[in-house]
Amino acid sequence: MFDPTAFDNIKVVVEGAIYDKDLDGELMVTNREDLVDLANLSRTCNLAFSIVQSDKSKSYAVLKLQAGLKNLASELLEMDHASTLAGCMVTIHFHLTHGNDEKIFLNIQKVLEDIWGKGRKIEQAVKINPLKRADTIVNEATVHFNRLVLEDQIEDLTEMIDYIVLTLKQLENVIK
């Protein structure tokens, strides 16, 4: 038996909180990826979910947890500063389908800044098929936290799920 890493502990708690909300009917888990990259010894967990609605949802979120070799080595080798490296990076991706209108992009940015703060790095990237004239586009809005999340902050991550659900609800109103 091995001692679980900070990444393992964080992942288990976050997955549990998301699946609890799925069981309660507040959201619906649509995909889960648990990846190990053997080339650079990193781990990634992606949990995709949407809010439960009667009509077809035009948005979903992906909560991404990622830990690299430095994070793992700091724990296993009991390196100096292990307590500051034992954790994972967190990124939230919001996938939205909406009209190609600048007002919508600005409203999405406002919602994200209002909920997550203007100090966060927020990006929007649009995917289109250049050979088709479509009225709708797919927008991936990403909230970066740009810092390591440690085991001591697990409770913050479980609370973050409520903010993701709130964000999805507000974004659905923007992209209607």
Q: What is the pLDDT of residue 133?
A: 80
Give me the pLDDT at residue 81, please.
Answer: 65
Residue 1: inside a domain? no
The reported pLDDT for the residue numbered 129 is 84
Residue 132 has a pLDDT of: 84
Share of the chain above pLDDT 90, in %: 73
Lowest mean pLDDT, pick from 8-22, 31-45, 122-136, 155-169: 122-136
Query: Rounded mean pLDDT of the chain?
Result: 91
Query: What is the average per-residue pLDDT within 9-37?
Result: 96
Tokens describing residue 77? 């080798």
pLDDT in tens, 133-152: 888 899 999 999 988 999 99
Q: Count structural domains, the chain.
A: 1
- Domain assignment present for residue 35? The answer is yes
Phi and psi, residue 111, nearest 5°: -60, -45
In a domain, 165, yes or no: yes
Q: Which of 104-108, 134-138, 158-162 has the lowest mean pLDDT?
A: 134-138
Give 39-93 pLDDT, tens digit per residue. Answer: 999 999 999 999 987 566 789 999 999 999 988 888 778 766 666 788 999 999 9
Rounded distance between C-alpha atoms, residue 46 and residue 147, angstroms: 18
CA angle 48, 20, 160 (to 5 degrees): 60
Better-scored residue on pLDDT, 123 or 85: 123
Residues paired with 122 in a beta bridge: 143
128 found inside a domain: yes
How many Å apart are CA 100 and CA 115, to the nearest integer? 23
Q: Is the pLDDT of residue 1 over 60?
A: no
Mean pLDDT of 92-119: 96
> What pLDDT score was predicted for residue 52?
86
Q: Is residue 89 part of a domain?
A: yes
Evaluate whether residue 21 is within a structural domain: yes
Q: 3-class secondary structure for the chain?
A: CCCCCHHHHHHHHHHHHHHHHHHCCCEEEEEEEEEEECCCCEEEEEEEEEECCCCCCCEEEEEEEEECHHHHHHHHCCCCCHHHHCEEEEEEEEEEEEECCHHHHHHHHHHHHHHHCCCCEEEEEEECCCCCCCCEEEEEEEEEEEEEEEHHHHHHHHHHHHHHHHHHHHHHHHHC
The backbone torsions φ and ψ at residue 107, rounded to the nearest 5 degrees and listed phi first, read -70, -35
Instruction: Tell me whether residue 151 is in a domain.
Output: yes
Residue 80 lies in a domain: yes
pTM, full prediction: 0.92
| Calpha distance 140→48 (Å, rounded) | 13
What is the domain extent for residue 76?
6-175
